Amino acid sequence: MKSEKFEITFRPIGTEDVPNLVRWQRDAETARWYWDVVDLSDGELKRKWTEIAKKTESKTDRFIIVVNGHDIGEIQVANLRDYPEAAAEVGIPNAASADLFIGEPAWRDRGIGSRALRQFADKIVFSRPGIETCTIDPEPENTRAIRSYEKAGFTYVRTYHSAEGDVDAYLMRRDRGQD
């Protein structure tokens, strides 16, 4: 079986990405895991992403995942020290938190999420001064994401109840230099 070749790059989100971001978050497979946007109208979701795209100073850096020239999803990173409540919940020093979604259905279940997350952690997350650990915290029921993150080298730490969004989180980590 011939494996597919993928060139994965990341570029900062811009206002030109807002229509895709809204469409992607409205997709049923993506929307079910984003509790904070489910009650927003399309107009409100568009305004939210437009504000995020226009921010010049943000504690979270957000990127479009580009595979073989196609925009397919969103990935983000934040230093946990910039979010004290989240840092306290996670309890791992010198850590950053990542999150992502593959918005284009045709690009799901092809190993892209695992490859993108591994590359993102190695090239972007661990290039941040002082960051030794990359964390990610899907909901425990999101088994597709958990399998993908395991393939990217992330290991289970613990399950906890997050005050943010009042949801359970399946905390995973990958340390700098880990293969």
Residue 80 lies in a domain: yes
pLDDT at site 159: 97
Residue 64 lies in a domain: yes
pTM here? 0.92
User: Percentage of residues in the chain with pLDDT exceeding 70?
Assistant: 97
Domain count across the chain: 1
Residue 1 lies in a domain: no
Side chain identity at 178, as an amino acid letter? Q
pLDDT in tens, 29-64: 888 888 778 788 899 999 999 999 998 667 999 999
**Both structure tokens of 4:** 């597919």
Q: What integer is the mean pLDDT of 91-110?
A: 95
Residue 95 lies in a domain: yes
Residue 2 lies in a domain: no
Judged against a pLDDT cut of 60, whether residue 2 lies above it is answered with no
Residue 99 lies in a domain: yes
**Rounded to whole angstroms, how far apart are CA atoms 44 and 49?**
9
Q: Name the nearest CA neighbour of 97 among 151, 164, 144.
A: 164
Ramachandran quadrant class, 153 (left: phi over 0; alpha: psi -120 to 50; beta: rest): left
Q: Which of the two residues, 39 and 141, has the higher pLDDT score?
A: 141
Residue 3 lies in a domain: no
Residue 21 lies in a domain: yes
Domain with residue 93: its CATH number is 3.40.630.30
* Segments forming the whole domain that contains residue 98: 8-175
